[in-house]
Copies of this chain bind each other. A is one copy, B any other.
Amino acid sequence: MTEIALGSGMKKQIGLVVKNETKAIEQADRFEQWLTHKGLSIVRRQSSMPAIKRTKGLRERSPASLFCVFVLGGDGTFLSAVRWIGDQQIPIIGVKFGEVGFLAETTEDRLREAADAILENRFTVRQQMRLNVQICRQEMEIARECAFNDVVINKGALARLARIRTHVDGQFLTDYRADGLIIATPTGSTAYSLAAGGPIIYPSVPGILITPICPFTLTNRPLIVPDSVTITIQLTEDASDIMLTCDGQVGIKIDERDTIIISKSLSPVQMITLPEQNYFDVLKAKLKWSGSRV
- Do A224 and B195 form a contact, CB below 8 Å, given A291-B217, A294-B294? no
- Most interface-central of A154, A196, A218 (chain B CB within 10 A): A218
The 9 closest A-B pairs by CB, nearest first: A157-B243, A199-B222, A154-B157, A195-B214, A219-B287, A52-B158, A288-B294, A199-B199, A294-B294
The chain B residue with its CB closest to the CB of A180 is B157
Is B214 within 8 A of A294, CB to CB?
Answer: no
Is B219 within 8 A of A288, CB to CB?
Answer: yes
Chain B interface: which of A35-43, A140-148, A203-211, A259-267?
A203-211
Query: CA A225 – CA B186 in complex, angstroms?
Result: 10
* Residues of A participating in the B interface, judged by any CB pair closer than 8 Å: 51-52, 54, 99, 154-160, 168, 171-175, 177-180, 186, 192, 194-202, 204-207, 209, 213-226, 240-243, 245, 251, 278, 280, 284, 286-294
Query: A224 — which chain B residues lie within 8 A by C-beta?
Result: 186, 199-202, 205, 207, 224
The chain B residue with its CB closest to the CB of A174 is B289
Is A157 within 8 A of B156, CB to CB?
Answer: yes
Is B202 within 8 A of A226, CB to CB?
Answer: yes
Complex copy number for this chain: 4
Is B221 within 8 A of A200, CB to CB?
Answer: yes
Query: CA A286 – CA B218 in complex, angstroms?
Result: 11
- Do A157 and B251 form a contact, CB below 8 Å, given A174-B284, A205-B226, A217-B292? yes
The chain B residue with its CB closest to the CB of A244 is B157
Is B171 within 8 A of A194, CB to CB?
Answer: no
Query: A220 — which chain B residues lie within 8 A by C-beta?
Result: 287, 289
Query: CA A240 – CA B49 in complex, angstroms?
Result: 14
- Do A199 and B223 form a contact, CB below 8 Å, given A156-B156, A205-B205, A289-B174? yes
Query: CA A250 – CA B180 in complex, angstroms?
Result: 21
The chain B residue with its CB closest to the CB of A240 is B51
Cβ-neighbour of A157 out of B225, B241, B292 (below 8 A): B241
- Most interface-central of A99, A178, A195 (chain B CB within 10 A): A195
